[in-house]
Amino acid sequence: MIELQRLHARHAAALLRFERENREWFARSVPDRGDAYFAGFAARHAALLAEQATGACHFHVLVDPDGAVLGRFNLVDAAGGEAELGYRVAERAAGRGVATDGVRRVLALARRAYGLRRLTAETTLDNAGSLAVLRRTGFAPVGEVSLDGRPGLRFARELTADD
């Protein structure tokens, strides 16, 4: 069974493998993380866990029964009942509803576990998969943005007790 788990130190190796295996795939729709990200991955992972411990961010991985990471689902800059959602899914899991499922699971956690009331998200106009996931999960466009020079949309979603 696929499980959404809060990011933990034990996820480091699987998460690094996920990022390396999907680097080219991700770079098609989002800016590449760069070689420095991979060279300093251990320190970066530790920093994310420290940031998560403050409550300012909530990082999650979606793992398969073997412990392989299928996706990342993050809530960042949590303050005043709001946070920004970001996610990425492995190429091998794309087009199978994994991103939609992961976003729905994070929506429930955002409201019930973290007390958030509103989420925002951004994606480029050429990222059809992400646009579809956001619309399918109840996000509505609220404005235009530029993401690394590429046109995009900003979305928002109010969270309710039903989430």
Tens digits of residue pLDDT in 14-68: 999 999 999 988 878 777 787 888 889 999 999 999 999 999 999 999 999 999 9
Q: What is the pLDDT of residue 147?
A: 87
Taking each continuous run of H as one helix and of E as one strand, the counts in the chain are 6, 7
Buried-state track 144-159, b at ≥16 Cβ within 10 A, e below 16 = eeebeeeebbbbbbeb
Please tell me the least confidently modeled range out of 20-29, 125-134, 142-151: 20-29
- Tell whether pTM > 0.85: yes
Asked whether the beta carbons of 93 and 71 are under 8 A apart, the reply is yes
Percent of the chain with pLDDT over 70: 100
Q: What is the pLDDT of residue 35?
A: 81
Cβ neighbors of 12 (< 8 A, separation 6 or more) are 41, 42, 45
CA distance 57 to 55: 5
Q: What is the pLDDT of residue 25?
A: 84
Q: What is the pLDDT of residue 89?
A: 94
Q: What is the pLDDT of residue 51?
A: 95
Asked whether the beta carbons of 95 and 76 are under 8 A apart, the reply is no
pLDDT tens digits for range 90-110 = 999 888 899 999 999 999 999
Q: Domains (ranges, CATH) in the chain?
A: 3-158 (3.40.630.30)
Residue 9 — very low, low, confident or very high, per pLDDT cuts 50/70/90? very high
**C-alpha angle 149/153/159, rounded to 5°?**
140
H helix or E strand, kind and range, residue 16: helix 12-21
